[in-house]
Amino acid sequence: MSILVFLFLLCAGSSTAAAADLYVSATGEYDGQTAYTNLQEAVDAAATGDTLWVEDGFVCASGATTNANGASRIYVGKRLTLRSRSGTLDNPVIIRGAWHSDDARFGENAVRCLETRAGGTRIIGFRLEGGSVNTNLTGDARLAGGWLGTGVLSNCMVTGNSAVECGAMYSHITAQPLTAYTSLVSSNYARSSRGSHYAGSFYSTQFIGNSSDGSCGVFYYGTYSNCLFAGNSAKGGDGVGVLVGTAMYDCIVSNNTAGGECGGVSYTPRLYRCTFIGNRAMGGAGGAVRGGAASARAIAVDCLFQDNEASGSGGAAQHIVASGCRFDNNRSGGNGGGCDGGIFTNCFFGGNIVSNSGWGICNGGGVYGGTLTNCVLVANKAWNSNSTWPAHYGLGGGAAESKLHGCVVSNNFARFSGGGLGNSSGADNIVVFNTSGYQGGGLMRGTHARTLVAHNTNLSSSGVTAGGGASLVTATDCTFSNNFSLGTAGGVNECTLTDCQVVCNTASNGTGSAWGAGGIGGASKGRLVRCLIAGNMATSDAGNTSLGHGGTGGTSGSTLIECVVSNNTAQQRTGGVSGGTGYNNLVINNYSGADGGGIFGGTHYNTLVVGNVARRGVAGVAWGTVLYNCTVTGNTSQNNSNGGLNTGRVTSTISWGNVGAKDSLTYATNSCSSAVKDTHGPGNTAANPKLGTVGRLQYVPMPGSPCLNAGVYQPWMTDMADVRSHDRHGRRRIIGSAVDMGAFEAPTWGTVLLAR
């Protein structure tokens, strides 16, 4: 054997021999071995790396080692392993500290349970209980009634200990934090903060019933895996604790309470597959989680937040980035019943409530101030019982002040406005079956694109409330369908719409005290471009014949550009368009119970009014309407009132082929109607306009028509930036020597032209 091999084996043998087993028992005997009866004596006798085997049930409740950190029942200054015989909590070794006195936790007579000074120390199957500290000292001496130091706990219990900070444990070696496995940390108390500990790494460990008179019911820092945090509390904030960039994995955080903000964990935690249930922030925001500012949000992945509550904003969480998370039945007294602020992807919000009975703002039943992608918001509620300031309270049953993309917003409720979404914007969303108590059953304010808004309801019958589908929104390429309002505007109210469909909506005014509008109501400031308004209905159960408008129905000032208003119904007046200003529209096949099957009031250009019916009253265009270059034909008054026109001033307009009494006009210029006479104005005719079809062009004056080149020139006819410079077919308004009467310009005969 070579000398090198011999020396190696000799050294190896010496190293192995250095680690010894020592024994401790109350009887002085341990499986036939002589045992220490005093645990501290055994610790002092052991060498670095030794293992102390302590009999199950052994109790150490006397003696103490005192140093600058105060008195500790057991002091370990070297790397050792202390373990019970079984290594479990079934019958653990007990190290019992002491209060200053029976009725005073803190003072010079207090004794903590354990202090360790060497990294790598292991404690297995021990119970550290009843320890406390001397508050007359400073620094680390005021910390950790249970365990001060560093090392690893396995199958241990740390319970009923007290300190100024970190009631249970504290590591005074930053580079060697505490580590615990399958342990229980319970009922510890901190007078200032951190009822349990400062930091560390914990696995399959339970933290139950710890408390702090200040902040952080359990910890300030650390990493946690498969841990339980239940029933912890902090009179200040953070019922469980603060995580600064560290993480929790597969943990349960349940029924923790903060007297201030954040019932669970706060600042910048990273949370993976965790469950937060029943946590409470009694004095502020974030029932379960509260992140930092926009650059320091909490992060949650595949987590569940259920039945959490905050007196402030964010029933479950505030300032969080969440992916694949579920937020159920959380509640807040501020904004965001589920969450206040954050970024959400593939998340679910169900049954969350924001509620306030006073003057506090409470908006966003599911989310307030969030950015949501591919999320679902169902059965959330924004509620405020104070009815004196409806504009700002109880807004956005599903979400408020948020941005949404690819989301489903369904069955949410807002006490006042925006049953689905309030003051929010989005695209490619589905907003269905939501309800508002004041206006905007589906949407209230905001900008939206490619969104379906359907089967939403506005419950208020007040004349100043409106919008079963939406109110005060800007929308592009959206569909508003099958919405309902007890007041005005079954579909949309005072909205700016482009390339949208407003179809099959209903408004019902049961009291008759205010007008109802089926498709677009109260649109005095509304603007609709290239929209379809079809199949809407307005009813007025009180039978007030001066009220109830069906298609767009509202007050004057609405603007319709190149729209189709079709197959709308009003129980009373105005089946199609009520008031406002219309450009190049088609008003077709609408029905009214009284005057205005097609149009009632307003000013209209280049518009075709055809196939409309009035059960009683004027069928085509009624009462005070001003028309320029319009065609009114094929309308029917079922009680033989005016089939075409009974209105104010018309210019370059054709009214022909209507069923009912002849037209009644106040003044006409260069128009064709059965009612016109020279006394109405110059250039009128009662001759057949000879309307026909050429290719795709309909209702065009054919050769020999008295309407060809017989209209009145208007400056806007040659201004290509003005929509009125083109006819209803989209062709230039003047073809030939002069403008034609009616909504359509005839082609130059002998030339093949196609409609735009």
What are the φ/ψ torsions at residue 39 (nearest 5 degrees)?
Answer: -65, -40
Instruction: Supply the range of the domain harboring residue 386.
Output: 236-438
- Residue 358: which region, alpha, beta or left (left: phi > 0; alpha: psi -120 to 50)? beta
- Tell me if residue 620 falls in helix, strand or coil: coil
Q: Please state the rounded mean pLDDT for residues 684-702.
A: 93
Please give the full DSSP string across 260-273, using - where no structure is assigned. SS-SSEEEEEEEES
Is pLDDT above 80 for 523? no
Quickly state the pLDDT bin for 570 (edges 50, 70, 90).
Answer: confident
Inside any domain, residue 263: yes
The pLDDT of residue 579: 85
* Residue 445 pLDDT exceeds 90: yes
pLDDT beyond 80 at 257: yes
Same-domain check for residues 392 and 277: yes
Same domain, 228 and 240: no
CA-closest candidate to residue 599, choices 639, 647, 559 = 647
pLDDT of residue 575: 85
- pLDDT tops 80 at residue 253: yes
Q: What is the pLDDT of residues 651-678, one digit of tens each?
A: 999 999 999 999 998 899 999 998 776 5
pLDDT at 251 over 90: yes
Q: Is the dihedral of CA 731, 733, 736, 742 positive or negative?
A: positive
Largest CA distance in the chain: 137
What is the rounded distance in angstroms from the CA atom of residue 303 to the CA atom of residue 169? 28
Q: Average pLDDT in the 709-735 region?
A: 95
What the block records as the tokens of 390 is 């409806």
Number of domains in the chain: 2
pTM: 0.90
Residues 310 and 207 in one domain: no
- Per DSSP (E only), the strands in 541-607 are 559-561, 564-566, 569-570, 577-578, 581-583, 586-588, 591-592, 599-600, 603-605
Mean pLDDT of 564-581: 88
Shared domain check, 221 and 326: no
pLDDT at 756 over 90: no
pLDDT at 708 over 50: yes
What is the pLDDT at residue 385?
65
Residues 304, 227, single domain; the answer is no
| Window from 89-98, 427-436, 445-454, 547-556 with minimum mean pLDDT | 547-556
pLDDT tens-place string over residues 307-358:
999 999 999 999 999 999 999 999 999 999 999 999 999 999 999 999 975 5
- The answer as to whether 206 is a domain residue is yes
Last residue of a domain, one of 189, 215, 235: 235
Joined together, the tokens standing for residue 452 give 């379906």
| pLDDT for residue 386 | 62
Q: Do residues 211 and 259 share a domain?
A: no
Residue 466, pLDDT > 50, answer yes
560 closest CA partner among 590, 528, 584: 528
Q: What is the pLDDT of residues 63-84, one digit of tens each?
A: 999 888 899 999 999 999 999 9
- Tokens 């062709």 map to which residue? 731
17's tokens: 């021999």
Residues 382 and 262 occupy one common structural domain: yes
Side chain identity, residue 403: K
User: Does the structure show a pLDDT above 90 at 493?
Assistant: no
pLDDT at 13 over 60: no
Question: Does residue 723 lie within any of the structural domains?
Answer: no
Residue 541 lies in a domain: no
Token pair 């009616």 in the structure block, residue: 742
CA angle 311, 313, 315 (to 5 degrees): 75
Report which DSSP code applies to 44. Answer: H
* Mean pLDDT calculated for residue range 292-296: 79
Query: Which two tokens mark 143?
Result: 């910390």
In a domain, 738, yes or no: no
Q: Do residues 290 and 220 both lie within one domain? A: no
> Region 400-420: what's the mean pLDDT?
97
- Reported as a single tens digit per residue, the pLDDT across 100-110 is 999 999 999 99
Q: What is the pLDDT of residue 649?
A: 92
Confidence of residue 166 (pLDDT cuts 50, 70, 90): confident
Nearest partner of 98 among 116, 110, 108, judged by Cα: 110
| Residue where a domain terminates, one of 217, 235, 253 | 235
Residue 602 belongs to some domain of the structure = no
**Do 133 and 148 fall into the same domain?**
yes
pLDDT digits (tens, 9 = 90+) for 601-624: 999 999 999 999 999 999 999 988
Q: Identify whether residues 136 and 263 lie together within a single domain.
A: no
The answer to whether 84 and 112 have CB atoms below 8 angstroms apart is: no
* pLDDT at residue number 8: 43
CA-CA distance, 421 to 413, in Å (whole number)?
A: 10
Please give the mean pLDDT across all residues of the chain.
88
Q: Closest Cα partner for 170 from 186, 151, 154, 148? A: 148
How many angstroms separate the CA atoms of 607 and 633, rounded? 11
Q: How many helices (H) and strands (E) does the chain have?
A: 2, 88
Final residue belonging to a domain, choices 235, 251, 267: 235
Q: Are 304 and 331 in contact (CB under 8 A)?
A: no
CATH number, residue 200: 2.160.20.10
Of residues 449 and 647, the one with the higher pLDDT is 449
Q: Over 50: is that where the pLDDT of 7 sits?
A: no
Angle at 635 (CA atoms; ends 503, 675), nearest 5 degrees: 140
Give the pLDDT score at 750.
53
The answer to whether position 563 is within a domain reads no
- Bigger pLDDT: 35 or 551? 35
pLDDT attached to residue 96: 98
Q: Which of 208-217, 290-299, 451-460, 553-562 has the highest mean pLDDT?
A: 451-460
Task: Mark whether 272 and 181 lie in a shared domain.
Answer: no
Please give the share of the chain, as a percent, with pLDDT higher than 90: 66
Phi, psi of 248, deg, nearest 5: -125, 135
Determine, yes or no, domain membership for 381: yes
**Same-domain status, 138 and 196:** yes
The answer, yes or no, to whether residue 505 has pLDDT greater than 50, is yes
Residue 389 has pLDDT above 60, yes or no: no
Q: Give the number of other Cβ atoms within 10 Å of residue 136's Cβ.
A: 13
Statement: residue 1 has pLDDT above 90:
no
